[in-house]
Amino acid sequence: MDNWIDYYDSTHTIYVSRRHRDLHFQVIADDIISYIPSPDAVVLDYACGEALSAGRVAQACGLLILAEPAPGVRGRLIARFAPNLRIKVRSLDDLRHIDPQSVDLAVMNSVAQYMTAEEFDTALAVIRRALKPAGRLVLGDILRPNVGLVTDVMALLRFARRHGFLKDALVGLAATALSDYRQLRSHFGLQHFSEAEITARLAAAGFSATRAPANIGYNPARMTFVATPQPAAR
């Protein structure tokens, strides 16, 4: 396994059970829906993963573009959502050819931590070009410096206890401890950003950003930012 995209394309154990996986995508979908500005909005989910609740998101907007780099995951998205005319599935490369200023809301949740600096800047440039002048980018699940695995484990256990899958979570965590995830996390690492760092990176890409009161998903130790395109300097 060479990188995080390969990991997400494999039969990984990041979700401890089917219930955890389904709840994860339901919570993310509800949070995305809360940012949709109007029922006819064009929404882009950048590196959406399995997006199991994307049907719900699509019901709340005019068009949902699911972009995913992992080819196996993308194949499943195409098969799953083929009958849904409000959903289009794309690779990240396809997004370079998307109509400029055609997207109302772009969401990139739990992705920046897996990217190199160059990949992150490229993603921001692609999204900046795709967004309408009044559009918004929601960048979720950003890891702060000095917040590590223990905080993530505690957030998962609290989520599991609340939704009745604590036993599965404990078994799953033991499996994860022995898995590729832990090796990859120590080998490739995850990118962490302070609030000031992420704001500066977004500013360099032409966005003005503020931190949202709550993170997308169920890990309150991580941060979400809402960014709006700044008019290009003349």
Binding site for ligand SAM (CB under 6 A): 4-5, 8, 28, 47-49, 68-70, 109-111, 114-115, 119
When the beta carbons of 15 and 195 are compared against ligand SAM, the nearer one is 15
> Pseudo-torsion of CA 213, 45, 53, 33, nearest 10°?
40
36-75 burial, b at 16+ Cβ within 10 Å, e below that, comes to beeeebbbbbbbbbbbbbbbebbebbebbbbbbbbeebbe
Query: Cβ 218 to ligand SAM, closest distance in Å?
Result: 11
Query: Cβ 177 to ligand SAM, closest distance in Å?
Result: 18
When the beta carbons of 69 and 172 are compared against ligand SAM, the nearer one is 69
Long-range contacts of the stretch 52-58 (C-beta < 8 A, 24+): 52/21, 52/22, 52/25, 52/26, 53/22, 53/25, 53/26, 53/28, 53/29, 54/29, 54/81, 54/87, 55/81, 55/84, 55/87, 56/26, 56/29, 56/30, 57/29, 57/32, 57/33, 58/84, 58/86, 58/87
Query: Cβ 62 to ligand SAM, closest distance in Å?
Result: 21
Query: Cβ 6 to ligand SAM, closest distance in Å?
Result: 9
Query: Cβ 111 to ligand SAM, closest distance in Å?
Result: 4
When the beta carbons of 42 and 143 are compared against ligand SAM, the nearer one is 143
Query: Cβ 59 to ligand SAM, closest distance in Å?
Result: 18
When the beta carbons of 33 and 115 are compared against ligand SAM, the nearer one is 115
- Per-residue tokens: 14: 């990041």
Residue 129's closest CA among 90, 88, 93, 96? 96
Q: What is the CA radius of gyration of the chain?
A: 17
Query: Cβ 120 to ligand SAM, closest distance in Å?
Result: 8
- Per-residue tokens: 19: 């219930």
When the beta carbons of 69 and 206 are compared against ligand SAM, the nearer one is 69
When the beta carbons of 58 and 111 are compared against ligand SAM, the nearer one is 111
State the residue for tokens 């219930």. 19
Residue nearest to ligand SAM (CB): 49
When the beta carbons of 23 and 47 are compared against ligand SAM, the nearer one is 47
